[in-house]
Structure 1
Amino acid sequence: MSRKVVALGIVAALSGAAALAVIWQFGANPGEAAAIAQGRQLYAANCASCHGANLEGQPDWKRPLPSRRMPAPPHDASGHTWHHPDEVLFRITKEGPAAVVGGGYESDMQGFGEVLSDEEIGAVLAFIKSTWPERERAYQAEMSQREKEKTKEKTQ
């Protein structure tokens, strides 16, 4: 049985950040062409209308809209997506920004947990990460590893 078949079975039994870790461990990392291709398609269908076809975000994304909500940020290297660890990116995508920011934060972004599977969210994130320059990918990977270690320490 292939590692991917095993991984898909495990993913079906897991949710949230645990599923994301399994997905990336078993092949859907930013360097894998199939996951990136799937992520590119899912991004185009679900994310590009707000975040831009080229991951450029909405104009003036750092200034509130008249609704007092923030515009969709870019997901390319000019934005701040790469400043967040994997677990945060996954949770924002699955549950919406308010789940991470808290405090009554309002956003035009819905959570995609009822639209995309955990594996599909992982593929979208793999696609986004694949577009970043090496410096940003390395920084984000290091931050993700530090967060994993902190979480592990807290549970011991």
Structure 2
Amino acid sequence: MKFIWVTAAVMGLAACTENQGAAQNAGETIDTSSISLEPKVGTERWYTPVEVTRGKEVFGENCAGCHGQNAESTPSWKSVAANGQYPPPPLNGTAHAWHHPLDVLKMVIEQGGEPVGGVMPAWGDRLSDRQIIDVIASFQSYWPDDVYQSWLEREQSRRGSQ
């Protein structure tokens, strides 16, 4: 019986520590220029498999309603909708998202589309920097290798000029 109580106490303490870490990460500010572009094991891209998994969860809860469950959007995303606006573009590498550097992708999610002429709502008051970076990792994970490589070259070039 004592073993059960000790095990329960240790597990509870571990869960508490994990929750404190998550709470600390929620307020963490992430400067995209500090994110290493070196390929990570399991993705061979700048992000880890864990970031993709977390990002797909956040994307599914917050972004999929407009951008599609797998970032595929709608078939008519290039046509103006009845409201006079273009529908949300796909983020799976088939539209223009890959042209944008990491800091612009983050900024558009935080501030919404208005600063770049769009209508996407701002998510910075609902998503932490960590969640936003994870969301970017999630939709970039759908990008074909050639699209990702083109984005990476642009990102590296841009960072080299700063």
2:91 is the alignment partner of 1:75: yes
Q: CA deviation at 1:78?
A: 1.7
1:21 equivalenced with 2:13 (yes/no): no
The amino acid of 1:142's aligned partner reads E
2:53 match:
37
Contact kept in structure 1, 2:33 and 2:159, CA below 8 Å: no
Structure 2 length normalisation: TM-score?
0.72
Uncovered stretches (5+) of structure 1, i.e. residues with no partner: none
The alignment's TM-score, normalised by the length of structure 1, stands at 0.75
Query: For the residues of structure 1 that align with 2:128 and 2:37, how far apart are their CA atoms?
Result: 17
Q: Structure 1 119/24 Cα, relative in aligned 2: closer, same or farther at 3 Å?
A: farther
Q: Percent identity?
A: 28
CA distance in 2, matches of 1:38, 1:24: 19
User: Structure 1 residue 114 and structure 2 residue 114: aligned?
Assistant: no
Task: Kindly report which structure 2 residues correspond to 1:5-154, keeping only aligned pairs within 5 A, or say none.
Answer: 12=28, 14=29, 18=31, 20-23=32-35, 30-99=46-115, 101=116, 105-107=117-119, 109-150=120-161, 152=162
Change (3 A) 1:25 1:118: farther
CA RMSD of aligned residues (A): 2.4
Further displaced range: 89-98 or 42-51 = 89-98
For structure 2, list consecutive stretches of 5 or more residues without a partner in the other structure: 1-20
Report which of the two structures shows the higher radius of gyration computed on alpha carbons. Answer: 2
Aligned residues: 134
Paired with 1:144 and 1:25, the residues of 2 have a C-alpha distance of 9
Alpha-carbon distance change, 25 to 143 in structure 1, aligned in 2, over 3 angstroms: closer
Q: Report if the CA contact (8 A) 2:59-2:135 is conserved.
A: yes
Structure 1 residue 147, shift from structure 2 partner? 2.2
